[in-house]
Amino acid sequence: MKSTTRLLATVLLAFPLSAMVGQAIAVEAGHDHAGAAHQTMELNNGQKWQTDAPLRQGMGTLHEIVTSGLSGAHANQSTPADYRQMSGKVMGQITYIVQNCKLAPDADAQLHILLGNIAQGAETMDGKVAGEQPETGLIKIAQALNSYGTYFDHPDWKAINVAH
Protein backbone atom coordinates (compact mmCIF):
# COMPACT_ATOMS: atom_id res chain seq x y z
CA MET A 1 0.00 0.00 0.00
CA LYS A 2 1.19 3.46 -0.71
CA SER A 3 0.24 4.70 2.71
CA THR A 4 1.24 1.68 4.73
CA THR A 5 2.56 3.71 7.60
CA ARG A 6 -0.58 5.82 7.70
CA LEU A 7 -2.77 2.70 7.88
CA LEU A 8 -0.66 1.13 10.56
CA ALA A 9 -0.63 4.38 12.50
CA THR A 10 -4.43 4.36 12.32
CA VAL A 11 -4.65 0.83 13.60
CA LEU A 12 -1.94 1.10 16.21
CA LEU A 13 -2.87 4.50 17.57
CA ALA A 14 -6.50 3.51 17.87
CA PHE A 15 -5.87 0.10 19.42
CA PRO A 16 -3.14 -1.14 21.76
CA LEU A 17 -2.49 -4.25 19.68
CA SER A 18 0.89 -2.92 18.61
CA ALA A 19 2.58 -5.64 20.62
CA MET A 20 0.85 -8.24 18.44
CA VAL A 21 1.83 -6.55 15.21
CA GLY A 22 5.27 -6.22 16.68
CA GLN A 23 8.13 -4.60 14.92
CA ALA A 24 7.17 -5.88 11.47
CA ILE A 25 6.20 -2.38 10.37
CA ALA A 26 7.60 0.99 11.38
CA VAL A 27 4.96 3.59 12.19
CA GLU A 28 5.61 7.04 10.84
CA ALA A 29 5.76 9.44 13.78
CA GLY A 30 3.62 12.52 13.93
CA HIS A 31 0.58 11.18 12.10
CA ASP A 32 -2.61 10.73 14.09
CA HIS A 33 -5.27 9.06 12.01
CA ALA A 34 -6.98 7.24 14.86
CA GLY A 35 -10.40 8.43 13.75
CA ALA A 36 -10.22 6.49 10.48
CA ALA A 37 -11.69 3.37 12.07
CA HIS A 38 -14.88 5.30 12.82
CA GLN A 39 -15.50 6.69 9.33
CA THR A 40 -18.20 5.45 6.98
CA MET A 41 -17.20 3.38 3.99
CA GLU A 42 -18.20 4.48 0.50
CA LEU A 43 -18.32 2.93 -2.94
CA ASN A 44 -16.19 4.20 -5.82
CA ASN A 45 -18.81 6.27 -7.70
CA GLY A 46 -21.32 3.46 -7.19
CA GLN A 47 -18.82 0.71 -8.03
CA LYS A 48 -16.77 -1.59 -5.83
CA TRP A 49 -13.12 -0.68 -5.23
CA GLN A 50 -10.49 -2.65 -7.12
CA THR A 51 -8.38 -5.13 -5.17
CA ASP A 52 -5.00 -6.75 -5.75
CA ALA A 53 -3.80 -10.32 -5.20
CA PRO A 54 -2.23 -9.70 -1.74
CA LEU A 55 -5.42 -8.07 -0.47
CA ARG A 56 -7.57 -10.91 -1.79
CA GLN A 57 -5.21 -13.47 -0.24
CA GLY A 58 -5.18 -11.74 3.16
CA MET A 59 -8.93 -11.26 3.19
CA GLY A 60 -9.47 -14.87 2.14
CA THR A 61 -7.35 -16.02 5.07
CA LEU A 62 -9.27 -13.71 7.43
CA HIS A 63 -12.51 -15.22 6.09
CA GLU A 64 -11.23 -18.72 6.93
CA ILE A 65 -10.12 -17.68 10.43
CA VAL A 66 -13.46 -16.08 11.23
CA THR A 67 -15.61 -18.80 9.67
CA SER A 68 -13.89 -21.55 11.63
CA GLY A 69 -13.89 -19.39 14.77
CA LEU A 70 -17.63 -18.81 14.54
CA SER A 71 -18.24 -22.56 14.41
CA GLY A 72 -16.51 -23.01 17.76
CA ALA A 73 -18.05 -19.88 19.24
CA HIS A 74 -21.61 -20.87 18.32
CA ALA A 75 -21.02 -24.32 19.81
CA ASN A 76 -19.76 -22.65 23.02
CA GLN A 77 -16.47 -24.50 22.61
CA SER A 78 -14.11 -21.52 22.24
CA THR A 79 -11.99 -20.59 25.24
CA PRO A 80 -10.38 -17.22 25.99
CA ALA A 81 -7.10 -18.74 24.78
CA ASP A 82 -8.78 -19.71 21.48
CA TYR A 83 -9.97 -16.13 20.99
CA ARG A 84 -6.52 -14.73 21.80
CA GLN A 85 -4.98 -17.10 19.28
CA MET A 86 -7.51 -16.04 16.62
CA SER A 87 -6.82 -12.40 17.45
CA GLY A 88 -3.12 -12.97 16.83
CA LYS A 89 -3.86 -14.63 13.49
CA VAL A 90 -6.12 -11.74 12.51
CA MET A 91 -3.46 -9.18 13.35
CA GLY A 92 -0.93 -11.25 11.41
CA GLN A 93 -3.14 -10.96 8.34
CA ILE A 94 -3.54 -7.22 8.85
CA THR A 95 0.24 -6.97 8.91
CA TYR A 96 0.48 -9.07 5.72
CA ILE A 97 -2.07 -6.85 3.96
CA VAL A 98 -0.37 -3.64 5.07
CA GLN A 99 3.03 -4.86 3.89
CA ASN A 100 1.93 -6.29 0.54
CA CYS A 101 -1.24 -4.63 -0.74
CA LYS A 102 -0.90 -1.76 -3.23
CA LEU A 103 -4.16 0.05 -3.95
CA ALA A 104 -5.03 3.40 -5.45
CA PRO A 105 -5.13 6.13 -2.76
CA ASP A 106 -8.93 6.35 -2.55
CA ALA A 107 -9.33 2.57 -2.32
CA ASP A 108 -6.52 2.51 0.23
CA ALA A 109 -8.39 5.05 2.37
CA GLN A 110 -11.46 2.81 2.36
CA LEU A 111 -9.31 -0.15 3.29
CA HIS A 112 -7.98 1.81 6.28
CA ILE A 113 -11.50 2.10 7.64
CA LEU A 114 -12.15 -1.60 7.14
CA LEU A 115 -8.88 -2.75 8.72
CA GLY A 116 -9.49 -0.43 11.67
CA ASN A 117 -12.82 -2.16 12.28
CA ILE A 118 -11.18 -5.58 12.01
CA ALA A 119 -8.50 -4.51 14.49
CA GLN A 120 -11.22 -3.35 16.90
CA GLY A 121 -12.75 -6.81 16.72
CA ALA A 122 -9.37 -8.41 17.34
CA GLU A 123 -8.89 -6.16 20.36
CA THR A 124 -12.21 -7.37 21.77
CA MET A 125 -11.35 -11.02 21.03
CA ASP A 126 -8.09 -10.52 22.86
CA GLY A 127 -10.05 -9.55 25.99
CA LYS A 128 -8.88 -5.95 26.02
CA VAL A 129 -12.27 -4.26 25.79
CA ALA A 130 -13.94 -4.04 29.19
CA GLY A 131 -17.45 -5.43 29.32
CA GLU A 132 -17.26 -7.07 25.88
CA GLN A 133 -17.23 -10.80 25.30
CA PRO A 134 -14.62 -12.19 22.87
CA GLU A 135 -17.38 -13.56 20.62
CA THR A 136 -18.56 -9.98 20.10
CA GLY A 137 -15.17 -9.16 18.58
CA LEU A 138 -15.34 -12.18 16.30
CA ILE A 139 -18.77 -11.09 15.09
CA LYS A 140 -17.48 -7.54 14.55
CA ILE A 141 -14.72 -8.93 12.32
CA ALA A 142 -17.26 -11.07 10.42
CA GLN A 143 -19.39 -7.96 9.85
CA ALA A 144 -16.34 -6.03 8.65
CA LEU A 145 -15.50 -8.84 6.25
CA ASN A 146 -19.06 -8.73 4.96
CA SER A 147 -18.56 -4.99 4.38
CA TYR A 148 -15.40 -5.82 2.47
CA GLY A 149 -17.52 -7.89 0.08
CA THR A 150 -19.92 -4.99 -0.31
CA TYR A 151 -17.28 -2.34 -1.01
CA PHE A 152 -14.39 -4.22 -2.65
CA ASP A 153 -14.31 -6.25 -5.86
CA HIS A 154 -13.25 -9.73 -4.76
CA PRO A 155 -14.52 -12.39 -7.19
CA ASP A 156 -16.52 -15.18 -5.55
CA TRP A 157 -16.47 -13.49 -2.12
CA LYS A 158 -19.06 -15.05 0.17
CA ALA A 159 -20.71 -13.24 3.04
CA ILE A 160 -20.25 -14.80 6.46
CA ASN A 161 -23.39 -15.93 8.29
CA VAL A 162 -22.98 -14.51 11.79
CA ALA A 163 -26.23 -15.99 13.15
CA HIS A 164 -26.13 -18.95 15.48
Tens digit of each residue's pLDDT, the chain (164 residues): 444 444 444 444 344 333 333 323 323 222 333 344 447 899 999 999 999 999 999 999 999 999 999 988 888 899 999 999 999 999 999 999 999 999 999 999 999 999 999 999 999 999 999 999 999 999 999 999 999 999 999 999 999 998 86
Q: What is the pLDDT of residue 83?
A: 96
R_g over Cα of the chain = 15
Buried b (16+ CB within 10 A) or exposed e, 61-80: bbbebbeebbebbeeeebee
Q: Cβ atoms within 10 A of the Cβ of 132, count?
A: 16
pTM of the model: 0.78
* pLDDT computed for residue 62 by the predictor: 98
* pLDDT of the residue at 29: 27
C-alpha to C-alpha distance for 53 and 84, rounded to whole angstroms: 27
DSSP label at residue 30: T
User: pLDDT value at position 163?
Assistant: 81
Contact criterion met (CB below 8 Å) for 130 and 16: no
Nearest to 52 by CA among 119, 147, 152: 152
User: What pLDDT score does 15 carry?
Assistant: 40
Closest CA to 93 of 36, 11, 9, 2: 11
